[in-house]
Homo-oligomer: A and B are copies of this chain.
Amino acid sequence: MSEVVDTGRSAEMGLVREVTFDRVRAAAQRLAGVAHRTPVLTSATVDRCLGAEVFFKGECFQRVGAFKFRGAYNALSALDAGARTRGVLTYSSGNHAQAVALASRLLGIPAVIVMPSDAPAVKLAATRGYLAGTPGEVVIYNRAETTREELGAQLASERGLTVIPPYDHPDVIAGQGTCAMELFEQAGELDALYVCVGGGGLLSGCATTAKAMRPSCAVIGAEPAMADDAARSFATRSLHSVRDPATIADGARTPSLGRYTFSVVLERVDRFVTVSEGEIAKAAVFVMERMKAVVEPSGALGVAALFQDAARDPEALRGRRVGVVLSGGNLDLAMMPELRRLAEG
């Protein structure tokens, strides 16, 4: 079950000044030729139904299957020589772990990835695969005995490792912002951009890019209703947290925005849309059936939000040019029957 709490924290607005479009541009230079310039998909069916022109940015085709590679690689390449030699540590068990693992291999930086002993075998295998032949390692911990933060902090301090957090870091955010930069280059002018939100790294980065490159483009955060901490935090300007939300969009199960992402979201995002589990599943199945892109549930949040907006006010989108980020494609195909049931139910 989930529990919503107001953490009582307000945004430290000074932090927003560290997340600049210049940093996004620097990230784009570091990522050139390393990250995939992912394709933009269009659907005549979607355009006809909505009376709009919609551009889907296929980050599911990014390296490691998600936008996370952009931020991880950018943050690692921004390290100085000493930090590179000592190495990095992260403790995500999701796409960020694989992104740091691959970036560390490409850059020759040793990486420690802290993962729980009950992590899915496929994710463990994929992360180890990326680390194969590098000095990096996966460190397994038992949830009953310690927390990943404790173990991570202890290892980082003992070995002098730099912690690369999954979202709350200016260089991670700047890396994710290159996704919107490419989309604007590929699709031209946009009136609105739908971006999913978990910890807010992708949303903050894309909003930073949008407000610099296309100030008139509305930036819309898309979040599961079951994990609506960011939407609440935005509405109340006070940081909310949702503990262990049971949403199928596992990328959005992060408890709350971070210090950087909260302040960026408050200043640069226009509004939020929250979507039901059924809407998420329907959107994911639609993208797979009609657009032939494999998306994980979190990856379809933006599509679900767009469809909800279109259903609520069909006129609002008519004639508009709209961008949507398909943020990731790391779907366990064994989940397909469940996803289809949820979409039809």
A contact residues vs B (CB 8 Å cutoff): 36, 39, 41-42, 44, 58, 60-61, 63, 65, 285, 288-295, 329, 333-334, 336-337, 340
Contact = CB atoms under 8 A, between A and B. Distances in A.
Given A289-B294, A292-B293, 16 more contacts: A36-B42, A39-B61, A44-B63, A60-B292, A61-B291, A61-B292, A65-B290, A285-B333, A288-B333, A292-B294, A292-B329, A293-B294, A294-B294, A333-B336, A333-B340, A334-B340
Contacts of A285: 333
In the complex, the count of this chain's copies comes to 2
Contact of A41 (B61, B333, B334, B336): B61
A140 B63 CA distance: 46
A289 B41 contact: no
Contact of A293 (B293, B333, B336): B293
Contacts of A65: 290, 292
A238 to B, nearest CB: 38
A20 to B, nearest CB: 31
A145 B295 CA distance: 44
Nearest to A60: B292
Interface pairs A-B: 3 shortest CB-CB:
A292-B329, A39-B39, A292-B294
Contacts of A337: 336-337
24 contacts: A36-B42, A39-B39, A39-B41, A39-B58, A39-B61, A41-B61, A44-B63, A60-B292, A61-B291, A61-B292, A61-B293, A65-B290, A285-B333, A288-B294, A288-B333, A289-B333, A292-B293, A293-B293, A294-B294, A333-B336, A333-B340, A334-B340, A336-B337, A337-B337
Nearest to A339: B333
A340 B337 CA distance: 12
A238 B39 CA distance: 43
Nearest to A335: B336
Nearest to A330: B292
Nearest to A106: B44
Among A58, A60, A292, A295, max chain B CB count under 10 A is at A292
A63 B292 CA distance: 11
Contacts of A58: 39
Contacts of A36: 42
A136 B289 CA distance: 25
Contacts of A291: 61
A333 B42 CA distance: 21
A60 B291 CA distance: 8
A295 B290 CA distance: 12
Nearest to A299: B292
A289 B39 CA distance: 18
Nearest to A340: B333
A247 to B, nearest CB: 21
Contacts of A39: 39, 41, 58, 61
Nearest to A332: B289
Contacts of A288: 294, 333
Contacts of A44: 63
Contacts of A333: 285, 288-289, 336, 340
Contacts of A295: 292
